[in-house]
Chain A
Amino acid sequence: MNRRDILRRSVAAGLLATPAAGLLSGCATGGGGDKNDAETYQGTKSAQNPLGVKEDAPLEVVIFGGGFGEEYAKAHEAMYTEKYPKAKIKHSSTQEISKTLQPRFVDGTPPDVVNNSGSGQIDFNGLVSQNALAGLDDLLAAPSLDIPGKTVKDTLLPGAVEVGSYDGKFLVLNYTYTAYGIWHSAKLFADRGWSYAKTWDEHIALCKQIKAAGIAPWTYAGLHPRYMSWPLISTAIKLGGPSVATAIDNLEPNAWKSDSMRTAADAWHQIVKDKYILEGSPGLDHKQSQTAWCQGKAAFISCGSWLESEQKDVTPAGFNMTIGPTPSLGSGDKLPFEAIRGTAGEPFMVPAKARNVAGGLEYFRTMLSKKGAQDFTKKVASLTVVAGATEGVELPYGLSTVVKALDASGANGFNWVYNNFYRKLERNLVDAACGEFFSGRIGPAEFLEQCQKGADSIAQDSSIKKYKRAA
C-alpha cells in the first residue's frame, strides 16, 4: 500500500466517522462539573483564623515564572507554613499559565492560588463570565496579619480593589503597584545639560535638541507597539480628565475619538512626523528596544515600573533610570503635570472550584502582610499594593524615582482597565493600530478610527461579557 492509498482511505474513514461525533458529545466539556461533591477544605473561623483555614489542608500555588522569578513566592509559602506547619504546599512555576491550567479548570480541579500573568495569561473576561473565580471580599474584611487594628482593605493603596473588580465584585488581587510613564537616564541628561520637559512644546523642543546631539529622542517596542498607547492615552486623560478613560473602559460610542484623544494623538504624531524615533524601532521587540535605550541610542522610552528589574542585566552602572509623567499639553489640562498612571498589576486569583479556597485567601493575607510585602519589594525591586510597605527598605534608583513620582501624583493619579476587561482590545486591536501610527503609515485620524473600530467590534460581539465601571 502506498502513501496515496493511505490518504485515500483516511478520507473515507473521516467521512464515516463524522456522524459518530454526536455520540461523543460532551467528552471535553461535559466531563467535570459534577465533581463539586469532591471534598473542600474548610476549618472553623475564629479571631485567630478569620478566614476559616483548615490547618492541615494542602495548598497548591502556581506562579508565573516571568521577570519576578519564583523565589519571592517560596518565601511567602514559607511564611504560610510557619503559621500552619501541618499544611503541605505544592509549588510550581510556569510561563504558560493558560495552556497548563485550562484542562484543570474544565475538570473542576484547579490549583488554589494562580498567578495569572504574562503572555500566556488567561483572559479575565472569560474567567469572570464563567464564574471561575472566588470572591475575595472575606479577605478584604479580615484583619491584617501584622498591621494591628486594620483590616486588609485598610492596608491597600487606593485603586487596588477597583482594578481587580468586575461589576463591583472584587475577584482579582493585583499584587504589585506599577507606575506607567516615560523613562530617561538621569546621567545622560545631567551630562548633556538637558532637563525633563513639563509641557509638550518643551518636549518637542528637547527632542530637537537631542536629535541634533546625534541621539534618537525616542524608541519603542515596535513588535508590541501598545506600549506607546500608554503615554498617548495618559496625555489625553491629563487633558480631558479621568472621564476620558471611563468612556474607553465602558466602550462608550466614539470614546476613542473624543476631543481629548484627538488632541493627544495629534500631539504625539509630531514625534513621528519629525522623525524623532530611532530608526528601525518598528522592528524591535520590547527587550531589544529597551536595550537600545540602555545603550544610550535613544533618550526616551515608554514603560511600566518593571523596567528596572527587566533591564537589570544590561543597564550600565550609574545609568540612573528615571520615570517621568507625560508632558502637559497646556494650561487647559484638567490634571497637573505630576499626574501619572498608577495601578495595581501582577494578578493573583483563587479559582472558585479550588479545594482550599480559605487557604488561598489566607495565602493572599500572608502576601499582603507588611512582612510579606517588604520581602517581595526587597527580592524583586517592585512596589506592592500594601501602603507604606517600603518603609525601611532600601530601594534601587529607578524604583525610588517611581515612589517619588507616585507621591507627587497623589490623588491626581489615574488609570484605565479596558485592557483587563477586554484583553483582545489592547493586545490585538489597539496594538495593531499603534504599530501603524507610530511607524508613520497612518495619521492620527486613521489611528483613532482603527482603535474605535476595534472597540466597536468588541462592543458588538455578543459572546464577550461587558463590564462597566463607575467614573
Chain B
Amino acid sequence: MKHGKWPLIVTFLVPPVLLYVFFVVSPYLQAFQISTTDWLGYSADANPVGLANFKTLWHDDYVWNALKNNAILLGLVPVLTIVLGLFFATMLAMGGRKGSAGVTGVRGSALYRTVYFFPQVLSVVIIALLWKEVYHPNQGLLTSAAHAVGLPAPTWLGDPATAFWCVLAVMVWSNVGFYVVLFGAAMSAVPKEIYEAVLLDGASRFTTLRRVTLPLLWDTVQVAWVYLAIFALDGFILVQLMTNGGPNFSTDVIGVRMYDTAFGSETKFGYASAIGVVMFFLTLSVAVLSLRVGRRERIEYS
C-alpha cells in the first residue's frame, strides 16, 4: 500500500491543482496587475500607473454609494435569511405539538419543504424577471393586491425610496429555501432524545430554538453566514437584471459598478480591476472576520 501512495496522489491531485492555478489563481493575480495600469481593454497597450486607480477610487462617490448599499445588504441579508431559515426549519422539523407523537413537524411540512425550495430550482435570471413582473407598477401582483384592499402602491423598482428594499426582499426570498434545507439536514443529525427531554421540561418552541437548536447548529449557521456575507457583497446578477443600479444609483452595488466600468458605459478595465481588487479584499476580510467572531467550542454527540 505504502509504495503506491505517491503515484496516486500525483495522479489525482496535480491535475486539479494545475487547473485551479491556471483558471482561478492566475486570473486573480492578473487582475492585481491590471489594476495598476490604465488599460482601456481594446488594445494591448497599458501603461503602469501605480496606485492611481485606487486613489481615484477613494474619491469616487459612485463607488462609495455602491459600497454603502453593499454594507446595508451585508448587515441585513444574512440576518434575515438565517432567522427565517432557522424559523422555517424548526417549524418543519419540530414545530408540531399535537398528540403524543413527540417531536414532529407542523402539519403538511413535506409540502412546505418543497415549496420553500422552489426558488432554489429557478435560475437567478428567471427569479429576477419574475419579480420584475411582480413589481410591475400597474399590473404587478403587489400593486394589484394593494389596490384591492384600497391602499396606495408605490412604484416599487421605480422609486429610489423603495427600489433597494424591493431588491433586498428578493435576495432574502431566493436564498431562504436553501438554508431551510441546510438547517433541516443539520437538525436531523441532532439526537431526538435531546428534544424529547426539552419537551418534557416544558420548554416553549422559542426557548427550544434559542437554547438548544441554535447552539447545536452553530457550525452550520456559521457556514451559512459566510456564504450569505459573500453573496451580500456581490448581489450582482439580481441587481443588474432588476434595476441595473437605478433609479438614480439607489440600488447600485460594487459588482454592478465594476461591470459597468469595464463592459457597460465605459471600457476602463484598469479601473474596473481596481474595484475588483477592493472587492476581493473586502470579501476575504468579511469571511475571515465572521469565522473568527463566531468561533465556539464544537459539540460532539455520542
Q: Name A105's contact: one of B26, B42, B244 (CB within 8 Å).
A: B42
Chain B proximity mask over A287-320: 1 for CB below 8 Å, otherwise 0? 0100010000100000000000000000000000
Judge whether B284 and A14 touch: CB under 8 Å: yes
The residue on B at minimum CB distance from A284 is: B137
- A282 touching B159, Cβ below 8 Å: yes
Name B133-176 residues within 8 Å CB distance of A.
135-138, 143, 155-160
B34 contacts A29, CB within 8 Å? yes
Name the B residues within 8 Å of A27 (CB-CB).
Answer: 26, 30, 33
Is the Cβ of A423 less than 8 Å from the Cβ of B265?
yes
Q: Which one of A146-154, A201-209, A248-256, A432-440 is at the B interface?
A: A432-440
Most buried by B among A31, A108, A223, A225: A223
* Given A4-B291, A130-B45, A463-B38, residue A282 in contact with residue B32 (CB < 8 A): no
A residues 83-129 with Cβ under 8 Å of B?
Answer: 98-99, 102, 105-106, 108, 120, 122-123, 125-127, 129
Most buried by A among B43, B155, B266: B43
Determine if B138 and A292 form an interchain contact, defined as CB atoms under 8 angstroms apart.
Answer: yes
Is A439's CB under 8 angstroms from B158's CB?
yes
A22 interface residue per 8 A CB criterion: yes
* Pair B158/A279 contact, Cβ less than 8 Å: no
**With A27-B30, A106-B44, A432-B246: A283-B159 Cβ-Cβ less than 8 Å:** yes
Q: Any chain B CB within 8 A of the CB of A28?
A: yes
Known: A29-B46, A130-B40. A283 touches B156 (CB 8 A): yes
Say whether, besides A282-B137, A436-B248, A222 and B267 are in contact (CB < 8 Å).
no
Q: Mark B20-32, 1 if CB is under 8 A from A, else 0.
A: 0000011011101
Whether the pair B40, A126 counts as a contact (CB closer than 8 A) is yes
Q: Check B266 against A280 for contact (C-beta < 8 Å).
A: no
Contact with B along A2-25 (1 / 0, CB 8 A): 011001100100100110111011
Rounded to whole Å, the gap between the CB of B135 and the closest CB of chain A is 7
B203 at the interface (CB under 8 A from A): no
Residues of A within 8 A of B268 (CB): 126, 463
Task: Check if A126 sits within 8 Å of B33, measured CB to CB.
Answer: no
Nearest-CB distance from A5 to chain B (Å)?
A: 10
| Residue B39 at the chain A interface, CB threshold 8 Å | yes
Could you say which residues of chain B place their CB within 8 Å of the CB of A31? 44
Contacts of B29 in A (CB 8 A): 17-18, 20-21, 24
A405 is an interface residue with CB less than 8 A from chain B: no
Query: Contact: B138 with A279, CB < 8 Å?
Result: yes
Contact partner of B40 (CB less than 8 A), chosen from A11, A129, A223, is A129
Q: Which residues of B contact A132 (CB under 8 A)?
A: 42-43
CA distance A18 to B284 in the complex (A): 14
Contacts of A14 in B (CB 8 A): 284
Q: Is the CB of B158 within 8 A of A127?
A: no
Is A43 close to B, CB under 8 A?
no
CB distance B263 to A223 under 8 Å?
A: no
Q: How far apart are the CA atoms of A102 and B262 in the complex, in Å?
A: 10
In the complex, A288 Cα to B39 Cα: how many Å? 38
Say if the beta carbon of A281 comes within 8 Å of chain B: yes
Residue B287 lies at the interface, judged by CB distance under 8 Å to chain A: yes
- CB contacts (< 8 Å) of B156 on chain A: these are 283
B152 to chain A: closest residue by CB:
A279
Distance in Å: Cβ of B295 to nearest Cβ of chain A:
8
Instruction: Quote the shortest CB–CB distance from A281 to chain B (angstroms).
Output: 7
Q: Pick from A33, A98, A297, A428 the residue with the most CB of B within 10 Å.
A: A428
Q: Does A392 contact B (CB under 8 A)?
A: no
Query: Max chain A CB contacts within 10 Å: which of B40, B156, B157?
Result: B40
Query: Given known contacts A123-B266, A282-B155, is B246 in contact with A21 (CB within 8 Å)?
Result: no
> Which chain A residues lie closer than 8 Å to B185 at the CB level?
none
A427 contacts B by Cβ under 8 Å? yes
Contact B33 A21 (CB under 8 A): yes
Note all chain B residues with C-beta closer than 8 A to A25.
Answer: 33
Q: Mark B66-88, 1 if CB is under 8 A from A, else 0.
A: 00000000000000000000000
| A223 cross-chain contacts in B, Cβ below 8 A | 157-158, 243-244, 246-247
User: Is A441 part of the contact surface with B, judged by Cβ < 8 Å?
Assistant: yes
Q: By the criterion CB–CB under 8 Å, are B267 and A127 in contact? A: yes
Bitwise interface map of B from 105 to 121 toward A, beta carbon under 8 Å scored 1, else 0:
00000000000000000
Q: Is B179 at the interface (CB under 8 A from chain A)? A: no
Cβ-neighbour of A102 out of B32, B158, B243, B263 (below 8 A): B263
The interface residues of chain A lying within 8 Å CB-to-CB of B271 are: 463
Q: Is the C-beta of B215 less than 8 angstroms from some C-beta in chain A?
A: no
- Are A283 and B158 in contact, with the CB atoms below 8 A? yes
Tell me which residues from 239 to 279 in chain B have a Cβ below 8 Å from any Cβ of chain A.
Answer: 243-244, 246-249, 260, 263-268, 271
What residues of chain B lie closer than 8 Å to A292, measured between beta carbons? 138
CB-CB under 8 A from B45, the residues of chain A are 29, 33, 130
CA of A14 to CA of B277 in the docked complex: distance in angstroms?
Answer: 12
A22 vs B158: C-alpha distance when bound (angstroms): 45
Would you mind naming 21 contact pairs between A and B with Cβ atoms under 8 Å apart?
A18-B32, A26-B33, A29-B34, A29-B37, A29-B44, A29-B46, A30-B46, A105-B43, A106-B41, A106-B42, A108-B44, A125-B267, A131-B43, A132-B42, A223-B246, A280-B155, A283-B157, A283-B158, A424-B265, A427-B265, A432-B249
Additional A-B contact list (13), CB under 8 Å, known A7-B287, A433-B248: A21-B32, A29-B45, A99-B263, A102-B41, A105-B42, A126-B40, A127-B42, A130-B45, A222-B137, A223-B158, A223-B243, A280-B158, A284-B136
Sort A-B residue pairs by CB-CB distance and give the 10 closest, nearest first. Answer: A283-B158, A280-B137, A126-B267, A282-B158, A33-B44, A283-B137, A424-B265, A283-B155, A130-B43, A29-B46
Residue positions of B touching A, CB distance < 8 A: 25-26, 28-30, 32-34, 37-46, 132, 135-138, 143, 155-160, 223, 226, 243-244, 246-249, 260, 263-268, 271, 284, 287-288, 291
